[in-house]
A and B are shown apart, each in its own frame.
Chain A
Amino acid sequence: MQKMWRVVITIVLVMILIGIVAIAVGFLTGADTARIYQTAENNNLVNLVMRYYEWIVQVFNTYKAALMGA
């Protein structure tokens, strides 16, 4: 279990590092936050993410209500 924790944390850190490097390179090469958000909204990407967020909150509330009722 301890070894698996090390492996998972190593993989996660590497992925986060690569993601941060990609984001930094993107912004350094002319990326624009407003344009990215506008494109995502046009493709219903924001609505999709928001729907998943609401679903997670709903599941959490249901689970919480079940525990409190018991």
Chain B
Amino acid sequence: MSAIARKCDPQSEVTSINKQRFLAELGKLLTFMYEEDRLRALEMYSRMFDEAGDEGALIQSLLSPTRQAVVIARAYHSNLARITVTTESKAAPEDRDENGVPDYVQAIEAVRADAFARQPAPAVNAEAEEPAPAPAVNAEAEEPAPAPEESAEAEEPAPAPEESAEAEEPAPAPKESAEAEEPAPAPEKSAEAEEPVPAENKTNENIQFFSMPEEGAEEEAGETQREESAFNIDTDLMRQPRRKAKVFALIVYILFAIPITLAAIAILLVPAVLFLALSVAAIICGVVVVSAAFNGFAVIADIMVVLGGALVLFALGLLFLWTAIWFVGGAIVGVVHGVAALCDKWCYKEVLD
């Protein structure tokens, strides 16, 4: 599609925005690559958009920037993956095949070939938009080199409207027709032509596409990228927080916390010991009362009253005993834990590695 046609087409702006957005998001997802590799990959995708007849169909065939980033990441050599997003240049050469083409370039070429094979040829689309009086005849005239099955369908005298609709649809054109009608080179040729492109020859449009996304775009795509991008997750996981002590605050806290904690423990021990003594007394009294009930009393009614009193004493002894245990195991241990948690909050800070 030429530039004039794009200006006249009301949907060209939408297509351009989609292309821009696709490349911007892809550029953000490819931050694990070296800068020159990232620029090269983005340039290849930009050319893919330029060569595509229908950019919307190309975006549909590419599915999403995340998928393309995964495809590139699989082909990109793992030990070359960068952790930070700084603009550094790689020092060691990457793995290449016998032709000197990196693996990720071959992966992008494969994506491109697949996308172009799926989407219809532009020339066929242009012809298909023309008014056609007879669908069957149109199908024969429009398709430059249809597949054998489709040509058989078109040649058949089919009065049914569904079949004529099928014939009107632009069938996927083979590579030969696309090469003949479009000035776009073959995938192998374009790969060879893309490699030696220096950075100085980039157009303003490409520079805009290859530059890092703006802050507004980062905020828009931030949420989706955190969920979708495995690379960002790996980067975040590698930046684990580390606790660092504030030495002065820790010393001051220890100086004050130890005597205060000891005083609090002593104060809490008083009711604990008191309840423990009460529980011991109640249980001993209960035992004595039970033993006396069966030794000295002769009337059953008196024995019932004494045993009832002993049961109440046992109940109070159990309650006091549990209260003493709670003072020791709950309150005192809770004070110690609280002091430790306060120390952790006041005297330590978390820093990222």
Contact = CB atoms under 8 A, between A and B. Distances in A.
Do A and B assemble together? yes
Interface of A: 1, 4-5, 8-9, 11-13, 15-16, 18-27, 29-32, 35-36, 39-40, 42-43, 45, 48-49, 52-53, 56, 59-60, 63, 67
A4 B322 contact: yes
B273 A56 contact: no
Interface residues of B, number: 38
| Chain A residues touching B, majority SS | helix
A38 B266 CA distance: 44
A26 B296 contact: no
Given A5-B326, A52-B284, A56-B277, A19 B309 contact: yes
A45 B329 CA distance: 35
Interface stretch (B49-57, B90-98, B134-142, B297-305): B297-305
Contact of A23 (B285, B289, B300, B305): B305
A62 to B, nearest CB: 11
Contacts of B303: 26
Given A19-B308, A23-B304, A26-B304, 4 more contacts: A19-B312, A43-B296, A49-B288, A52-B284
Contacts of B329: 1
A68 to B, nearest CB: 11
B319 interface: yes
| Chain B residues touching A, majority SS | helix
Interface of B: 266, 270, 273-274, 277-278, 281, 284-285, 288-289, 292, 295-297, 299-312, 314-316, 318-319, 322, 326, 329-330
B308 A23 contact: yes
Contacts of A53: 281
B285 to A, nearest CB: 6
A26 B305 contact: yes
Contacts of B304: 22-23, 25-26, 29, 31
Nearest to B305: A26
A48 B288 contact: yes
A45 B296 CA distance: 10
B300 A29 contact: yes
A42 B266 CA distance: 43
B319 A8 contact: yes
23 contacts: A11-B318, A15-B314, A15-B318, A19-B311, A23-B305, A24-B308, A26-B301, A26-B302, A26-B304, A29-B300, A30-B299, A31-B302, A31-B304, A31-B305, A36-B297, A36-B305, A40-B292, A43-B292, A52-B281, A52-B284, A52-B285, A53-B281, A60-B277
Contact of A35 (B299, B307, B311): B299
A43 B309 CA distance: 17
Given A31-B299, A45-B292, A48-B288, A8 B322 contact: yes
A8 B330 CA distance: 15
A26 B231 CA distance: 81
Contacts of B306: 26, 36
Contacts of A35: 299, 302
A49 to B, nearest CB: 6
Nearest to B330: A1
Contacts of A4: 322
B69 to A, nearest CB: 51
B311 A18 contact: yes
Nearest to A49: B285
A12 B320 CA distance: 10
A1 B314 contact: no
Contacts of A18: 308, 311
